Amino acid sequence: MSRQALPIDLSLYLVLDPDLCGGSAGMVATAQQAAASGVTVVQLRAPNWKKRQWLETATALKAALALLNVPLIINDHVDIALAIDADGVHVGQQDMPADEVRRLLGPNKIVGLSTNSLVQFNEAELMYQAGIIDYVGVGPVYPTGTKKDASPVLASDEVNGMMQNRCLPAVAIGGIQAGKVASLIAQGLNGVAVVSAICGKADVTVATHGLLAEIHAARGNT
Binding site for ligand TZP (CB under 6 A): 15, 139-140, 144, 146-147, 150, 173-176, 194-197
Question: Which does residue 95 bind out of Mg ion, ligand TZP, none, counting CB within 5 to 8 angstroms by kind?
Answer: Mg ion
- Burial (CB < 10 A; 0-12, 13-18, 19+), residue 178, is middle
3-class DSSP state for residue 58?
A: helix
Is 116 annotated in a binding site? The answer is no
In the complex with Mg ion, which residue's Cβ is closer, 195 or 215? 195
Q: How far apart are CA 156 and CA 179, in angstroms?
A: 17
In the complex with Mg ion, which residue's Cβ is closer, 15 or 207? 15
**194 phi/psi in degrees, rounded to 5:** -130, 150
Which is nearest to 83 in space by CA: 114, 52, 120, 47? 52
Question: Which does residue 176 bind out of Mg ion, ligand TZP, none, counting CB within 5 to 8 angstroms by kind?
Answer: ligand TZP
Output the smallest distance, CB 143 to ligand TZP, in A: 8
Output the smallest distance, CB 222 to ligand TZP, in A: 24
Question: Which does residue 207 bind out of Mg ion, ligand TZP, none, counting CB within 5 to 8 angstroms by kind?
Answer: none
Question: Beta partners for 114?
Answer: 137
**Residues found near Mg ion in the complex (CB under 5 A):** 76, 92, 95
Question: Which does residue 57 bind out of ligand TZP, Mg ion, none, counting CB within 5 to 8 angstroms by kind?
Answer: none
Nearest residue to Mg ion, scored by beta-carbon proximity = 92
Output the smallest distance, CB 80 to ligand TZP, in A: 17
Which is nearest to 112 in space by CA: 81, 142, 156? 81
Give the distance from CA 144 to its chain's centroid: 15
Is 146 annotated in a binding site? The answer is yes
**135 phi/psi in degrees, rounded to 5:** -165, 165
Is 222 annotated in a binding site? The answer is no
In the complex with ligand TZP, which residue's Cβ is closer, 110 or 194? 194
Is 75 annotated in a binding site? The answer is yes
CA dihedral (82, 72, 134, 162) positive or negative: negative
In the complex with Mg ion, which residue's Cβ is closer, 76 or 134? 76
Is 112 annotated in a binding site? The answer is no
Which is nearest to 178 in space by CA: 194, 199, 154? 194
Angle between helices 23-36 and 204-219 (to 10 degrees): 40
3-class DSSP state for residue 188?
A: coil
Output the smallest distance, CB 93 to Mg ion, in A: 8
Which residues are part of a known binding site?
75-76, 95, 114, 144-147, 175, 195-196
Which residues are part of a known binding site for Mg(2+)?
76, 95
